[in-house]
Structure 1
Amino acid sequence: MGYKTLCFGFFCILFAYCIYSPIPEDVEEPWKVRIISAMIKMTTFVGTICENIGLLKYEELLATLSTVHYTKAVSDENITVIDTKFSDIPVRLYLPKKKSERQRPAVIFIHGGAFVLGSYKIAAYDDLNRWTANKIGAVVVGIDTRICIMGDSSGGTLAATVTQLLQNDLNFKDKIKAQALMYPGLQSLDTLLPSHQKYQHGPILTREMIIKLVCLYVTEDKVLLQAALRNEHMPTESRHLFKFANWSDFLPEKYKKNHVYIEPVLGKLNASYPALVDSRLSPLLVNDTQLQSLPLTYVVTCEHDLLRDDSLIYISRLRKVGVKVTHEHIEKGVHGALSFTRAPVFLNLGLKIRDKYINWLEENL
């Protein structure tokens, strides 16, 4: 009994510490955001302890806990929902039952989770995809004619990557009508953009957490993690790539504040990680000619988001080369809102973003 009481007391103290960590004053629904942030910080803390004592890996704990929110493929009177595979890749299809007088549009949804977590089975994503299929009569995940590739967070990264690859492939050029990116991370070169510094402790997403998870996508070598936290992870031969992600050139003045651009230290690592200079991980690394071929683009950014500046740089570059961009900036928003549309972690902000996105699809797809 004494051991259980001690553990309970410890977690109460930890929760109290996490819940009273400062958050921006103008965040929408601040107490909900505070509670969600506290839960995430506690989970990452416990995950780190579990990994250090050899119980299970950090990411395994996070992945296990996320399965609590999984849903099954359940059809209803409007939509047939099927779990299947495309070339051994698990997918969930949402097929509207109502007959359509036109060829149906399609939306390919890529979930977030810092490349190593998450699933299309998560209830909030299932709700989003059902709503998309219902509202605009689209086949979600399946491919037809008018296609939008959409993703949130790291899913937005992958959506941007896939769209670039398809638009620059002669076999698929102009097959994609639109891309929709929800608060994506778009570069791994510089881990100290102004938003990375301002929101390094959250809310929701912390700098240490995102760097740790993205590094796991590249390698399990902890050397890379420590170097990335110091912003000393890029090789010397990557110097020419920084012109594509230099925030002093592309970030609007209002977001620069008093920050002074300092080029990251290059060549500190002896190990080589080719993924760090690969545009498939960092879609900002492609040149203007490749960006110029991109389709109609929809981007959602949230003010209180560590990844905010990645998108702002991307939007500046796209508009500079003539790509038509619709940008929704949520002044009181936080990262991951689309994931929090189900109790007990419910944010009205997630529903607002969902509705803005669906309205844009109705008008443009």
Structure 2
Amino acid sequence: MMRSAVLGAVLLAAATSYYIYLPLPSAVAEPWKLMLLDAVFRAMMHVCNLAQDLGLAHNTRVLNYMVTLVEVRGPQSSESVRVTDTSFEGVQARVFESTLPGPRRLKRGVVYFHGGGWALGSGRMRSYDLLCRRMAEDLDAVIISVDYRLAPEVHFPEPYNDALRACRHILTAEVLALFSVDPERVAVSGDSAGGNLAAAVAQQLALDNSVSTKFKVQALIYPVLQALDFNTPSYQQNGNVPILYRPLMARFWLEYLNGDLKLVPSLLANNHTAVNQGQEAVVAAKAKMNWTNLLAPAFQKHYKPVAPCLGTPGLLEQLPGLLDVRAAPLLAEREVLKLVPPAYIMTCEHDVLRDDGLMYARRLEEAGVAVTSDHYAEGFHGCMVFGFWPARFTVGMQSMRNYIHWLQQNL
């Protein structure tokens, strides 16, 4: 009996180790902690996929339900931060107001968009709640975390429209006065898909002369900015690095653009930009993100462009959002880019989206926009919001401190 129990324990330990262990780059931060975090995510995804296969519910809906049960918390104020849930033009949001003692004064303001591939998460999740509290305290600011609608309930351009509508309302004199925000010191920021929305909104509002108050700066955290090339050096290098795998990013794009998920292999092969597509718009768009010109040799390494001669006919007609700057801000014209506010762009070495951020930084600089590039050699996608217990990574805490410090100095 004892021998059977020991054998069972050994087999269980071996199976668990096999499931958790994942070869990672030697330079990635705290690899075993990242493996454990990834194992939890993969286990949740397996449960969600099973629910979908059984016809119970869409896997994304199941995952969001699980996240809501575990992570979402109510608006709990503290001695230093007042927290309230509200809405702006029908878009849900959570407001974090610094209540530090002292004479009444106008404060900094930050509009923040959470990540999650336009399909997951909420500004009310514990990680984002803690991030925004920290920002409100350290910056003596008002942080507005916007809960735009998510796929699969809505698709592009609705999340973008939510983000834009909320920002237009927040930037009105009435709302800024209500929260005692200085109209000369308002930033837009976001991570991952939220960074995409922040960049897209910053471009649109920079063009809109009807909006009198403009964002002073934009702060983009490992943003996703394009879907024309799934074979940039960072996609090739980090395709199997958690927590954002290359096929998962393609899937997020298809969910966002309301595309057929069977098209994931076509996107990964860059078939949507093959030369036989014969569209001038594709040629012009690819020229704006030619990574052989935009990336430093240290990031290009030994990787070569992937440009198939034969693609998937009609793919771009099925997914027109691939060429829409509201979905892919990296494709904006130079005349637009030169109007946007100064930018902070964080990138991580072990992230498929690394090159999106690096290319955007280079294009902004070429357009004459001041850019602060903050790159983390040990970083991985999502690391900044893993700066809190129990998923606390050293690189996450460091990147968060540097991000907030940049806002202190520039907002």
TM over 0.5: yes
Q: Is the 8 A contact 2:98 2:142 kept in 1?
A: yes
In 1, Cα distance between equivalents of 2:347 and 2:290: 19
In 2, Cα distance between equivalents of 1:172 and 1:14: 58
| Residue aligning to 2:362 | 316
In 1, Cα distance between equivalents of 2:242 and 2:78: 36
Q: Quick check: which has more Rg, 1 or 2?
A: 2
Say which SS state the counterpart of residue 51 (structure 1) adopts: helix
Calculate the aligned-residue CA RMSD, in Å: 2.2
Alpha-carbon distance, 1:217 to partner = 1.0
| Residue aligning to 2:72 | 70
1:104 to 97, 103, 107: 107
Letter aligned with residue 177 of structure 1? K
In 2, Cα distance between equivalents of 1:314 and 1:40: 29
In 1, Cα distance between equivalents of 2:212 and 2:356: 25
Alpha-carbon distance, 1:15 to partner = 4.6
1:150–1:52 distance in 2 versus 1, CA, 3 Å:
same
Alpha-carbon distance, 1:264 to partner = 5.1
| Residue aligning to 1:167 | 206
| Residue aligning to 2:332 | 286
| Residue aligning to 2:119 | 116
Say which SS state the counterpart of residue 201 (structure 1) adopts: coil
- What are the Cα deviations for residues 110-137 of structure 1, in whole angstroms up to 9, with x where unaligned? 0000011110011111111111111111
Q: Determine if the alignment matches structure 1 residue 249 to structure 2 residue 293.
A: yes
In 1, Cα distance between equivalents of 2:347 and 2:375: 5
- What are the Cα deviations for residues 268-311 of structure 1, in whole angstroms up to 9, with x where unaligned? 24352221111111100111111111111101111111110111
1:15–1:84 distance in 2 versus 1, CA, 3 Å:
farther
1:228–1:48 distance in 2 versus 1, CA, 3 Å:
farther
Q: Is the 8 A contact 1:227 1:269 kept in 2?
A: no
| Residue aligning to 1:200 | 239
In 1, Cα distance between equivalents of 2:368 and 2:309: 33
Where does 1:148-187 land on structure 2 (aligned, <5 Å)? 148-172=187-211, 175-187=214-226
In 1, Cα distance between equivalents of 2:306 and 2:402: 36
1:173–1:345 distance in 2 versus 1, CA, 3 Å:
same
In 2, Cα distance between equivalents of 1:355 and 1:73: 24
1:126–1:9 distance in 2 versus 1, CA, 3 Å:
farther
Q: Is the 8 A contact 2:219 2:343 kept in 1?
A: yes
Say which SS state the counterpart of residue 150 (structure 1) adopts: strand
Identity %: 34
Indicate the larger mover: 212-221 or 146-155.
Answer: 212-221
1:332 to 352, 360, 378: 378
Letter aligned with residue 205 of structure 1? L
In 2, Cα distance between equivalents of 1:137 and 1:272: 46
| Residue aligning to 1:351 | 397
Indicate the larger mover: 233-242 or 172-181.
Answer: 233-242
Q: Is the 8 A contact 1:190 1:264 kept in 2?
A: no
Alpha-carbon distance, 1:364 to partner = 0.8
Say which SS state the counterpart of residue 346 (structure 1) adopts: coil
Where does 1:266-285 land on structure 2 (aligned, <5 Å)? 268-270=312-314, 271-285=317-331
Where does 1:27-38 land on structure 2 (aligned, <5 Å)? 27-38=28-39
Q: Is the 8 A contact 2:270 2:306 kept in 1?
A: no
Say which SS state the counterpart of residue 86 (structure 2) adopts: strand
1:282–1:13 distance in 2 versus 1, CA, 3 Å:
farther
Letter aligned with residue 306 of structure 1? V
In 2, Cα distance between equivalents of 1:209 and 1:307: 12
Could you list the runs of 4 or more consecutive aligned residues of structure 1 that deviate by over 6 angstroms after TM superposition?
8-14
In 2, Cα distance between equivalents of 1:11 and 1:220: 40
Q: Is the 8 A contact 2:48 2:63 kept in 1?
A: yes
- What are the Cα deviations for residues 49-108 of structure 1, in whole angstroms up to 9, with x where unaligned? 332332322212321222111111011112211101111111001122245554211100
Letter aligned with residue 349 of structure 1? V
Letter aligned with residue 383 of structure 2? A
1:300–1:14 distance in 2 versus 1, CA, 3 Å:
farther
The alignment covers a number of residue pairs equal to: 358
Alpha-carbon distance, 1:342 to partner = 3.5
1:105–1:128 distance in 2 versus 1, CA, 3 Å:
same
In 1, Cα distance between equivalents of 2:87 and 2:379: 35
1:207–1:9 distance in 2 versus 1, CA, 3 Å:
farther
1:239–1:49 distance in 2 versus 1, CA, 3 Å:
farther
Say which SS state the counterpart of residue 63 (structure 1) adopts: helix
Alpha-carbon distance, 1:347 to partner = 1.7
Say which SS state the counterpart of residue 64 (structure 1) adopts: helix
Q: Is the 8 A contact 2:236 2:303 kept in 1?
A: no
| Residue aligning to 2:302 | 258
Say which SS state the counterpart of residue 56 (structure 1) adopts: coil
Give TM-score scaled by structure 2 length: 0.82
Indicate the larger mover: 220-229 or 309-318.
Answer: 220-229
